[in-house]
Amino acid sequence: MVNPHPHFDDKGTLDWQTRYAEALAAAKAQGKLVFIELGRLQCSQCKTLVQNIVTRPDIAPVLQQHYIALAADADDSEDEVIDLAGNLDDAYMLPFVMFQHRQKARWTLLMSTLHPVRRALVSVSDKAGIEDFARGLVACGVQLLSTGGTYAALKKAGVPVTEVSEHTGFPEMMDGRVKTLHPKIHGGILALRDDAGHVGSMKEHAIAGIDLVCVNLYPFEATIAKAGCTREHAIENIDIGGPSMVRSAAKNHRFVAIVTDPADYAVVLDEMAQHNGCVTEATKRRLAGKAFALTARYDALIAEWMQKDLATAGLAESKWPASYALAGRKVSELRYGENPHQTAALYVLGGRNEPSIASAEVLGGKQLSYNNLVDLDAALALAKEFDEPFVAVLKHNNPCGAAAGGTILEALSGAWDGDPVSAFGSVLAFTRVLDMACAEYLVSGNRFVEAIVAPGYDEEALKLLTEKPKWGKNVRLLVCPFPQTARDARDVEVKKLVGGFLLQDRDLMAAGEGECKVVSKRAPGSEELAALLFANKVCKHVKSNAIVLAKGTRVLGVGAGQMSRVDSVHMAIRKAGDAVKGAVVASDAFFPFADGPELALKAGCTAILQPGGSLRDAETIAAVDAHQAAMVFTGLRHFRH
């Protein structure tokens, strides 16, 4: 036991940090525990010691004190004080150190932050690993309490366990809805072991402490993801008792370990083996944070489902709820974020059935990067616009090539030829299984891509892509089966702001032939109109200001992200080159002036599609008519920022 008060060496230099770091390291070498008398941390140097020394991995385990005032006189013997302390409940008071404040005429008990686990409540829906965990707890001398299916499973496995109804003296009822919502459960979890009033209440009402709670929740997320899930079935899979116990234990994590993840079973058992049946304070804090994250996600999923259910029934006051939370579950930590100095992680949202990059299966290649995932998500969104064989080529979140074809190889070659320079190092999205012909095309010449997402891969194609030098170890291959109808109109887009976020509907609309209003003297021919509608679907997925030039079902040039629309037209024409003659033009928003259409028409374009709505629409229409070209208005703008 040490008192870390500042120490001055012979030269008058403050050397307490070095002195005690050495002492604690020596204690670790001798296999000792160290009890540090930290007072009430009024001394700033002592606070610094706690922050900078006692958390270091190279020192001995440190037991930090708590104060418990005992109803003892200063002249009581040590044996009398020990008896008094024992009456509080030695399950929580040991190990402890006590000393006598003669001047203050009272005894003080110093209680360790390490508290032995004597009793645990185990009730899980996901029973993976629970039998081994329960056996490990019993081997550490822990009494087990359990409920329902978990109790039955442990009993069948021969693990000593007491049913909660026997512990509380109150039967489980209402089809299991009421079983753990009882003072003997929550009192045992929430009681502060160093509060004389709490301990007194435990004694008075015969409440035994519960030192570890192992709970995971009813599978609400999996339930609502099933086809044909009824409202009644979803409601029955909303857990009440589980989250209540999780939150109680997490709140009182100074005394109670809350375990919600099977991945933590081994960690907890290992610590109990090392620390005489105790779980360290650091681990209990980490587990508590994990537990609150679990219940937050669980509640967010329920709230989102409820809001959609209300909207479907026509009972929602607004489509947009008063409070909104994203229910994300971490899938992986990424190498870095958008740039190497930024950290990042991938989360998957619960309650979604739509095929997505977040839930896609990765078959091989390097670890996906932040930018890979963003580009793949954009590529997949574009591919979902098309039912026919189609390939999208994306770079920096913008299409640089896109084409449909009679076969998936025709679509791939057409998309690549749209901008072969930009296509190098791009990501690709396919609407058909990637076959051997496509694989051979990709690995030939000087072609290379960062990642591919497709509904599947032929066996030979997959073998070639994964074994070809330069490709096999580098190119990320993802499988994501998707029909166009898989797009979920109820899902929303989220745009993060500093200090907030925006929600909006997804832009899933695209003008069809019936939505196109001919505003020029000449109407577009059938081939021109088909090309315009194709270009418009691609243009939806280009960053504004967006211009797409196309011929047939192949993109020739893209003008993306320019601050003026005429500059985007310039860029698209340059990308199209000589192929521009006879091309059609799609614009994501209206032309504010006639200069953009004039530029395209002089380059050889024959038809234009735009939303319309400019004050100068008449000037643009006149320019189109002067070139004997065609123009249609859709009334639908597709800004993308």
Which residues does the annotation mark as catalytic?
251, 396
DSSP-derived secondary structure for 108-157:
EEEE-S--B--EEEEE-SS-TTHHHHHHHHHHTTPEEEE-HHHHHHHHHT
Strand duo 584-587 + 547-551: pairing: antiparallel
CA distance 548 to 572: 7
Q: Could you list the beta-strand ranges (E) of 405-514.
A: 426-430, 449-454, 476-479, 492-497, 500-505
Map residue 160 onto helix, strand or coil.
Answer: coil
Q: How crowded is residue 455: how many other Cβ atoms within 10 Å of its Cβ?
A: 16
Residue with structure tokens 């403050």? 14
Residue 227 in tokens:
């086809």
Map residue 344 onto helix, strand or coil.
Answer: coil
**Helices in 391-458 by DSSP H: which ranges?**
408-417, 420-423, 436-443
Shortest CA distance to 115 belongs to which of 159, 164, 66?
66
- With contact defined as beta carbons under 8 Å apart, do 146 and 161 qualify? yes
Map residue 514 onto helix, strand or coil.
Answer: helix
Residue with structure tokens 């996901």? 126
CA distance 429 to 377: 9
Q: Could you list the beta-strand ranges (E) of 170-294.
A: 212-215, 257-259
With left for phi above 0 and alpha for psi between -120 and 50, is residue 261 left, alpha or beta?
Answer: beta
Residue 307 dihedral angles phi and psi, to the nearest 5°: -65, -45
Residue with structure tokens 């409540």? 121
- Please work out, in degrees rounded to the nearest 5, the angle formed at the alpha carbon of residue 133 by the alpha carbons of 128 and 137: 160
Q: How many residues does the chain have?
A: 641
Residue 496 in tokens:
């993060």
Question: Cα separations (Å) of 53 from 19, 38, 39?
Answer: 11, 13, 16
- Please work out, in degrees rounded to the nearest 5, the angle formed at the alpha carbon of residue 29 by the alpha carbons of 23 and 33: 70
Q: What is the H or E stretch that residue 30 is in?
A: none
How far the first Cα of the chain sits from its last, in Å, is 62
CA distance 563 to 585: 18
CA distance 634 to 537: 12
CA distance 133 to 128: 10
Q: What is the H or E stretch that residue 110 is in?
A: strand 106-111
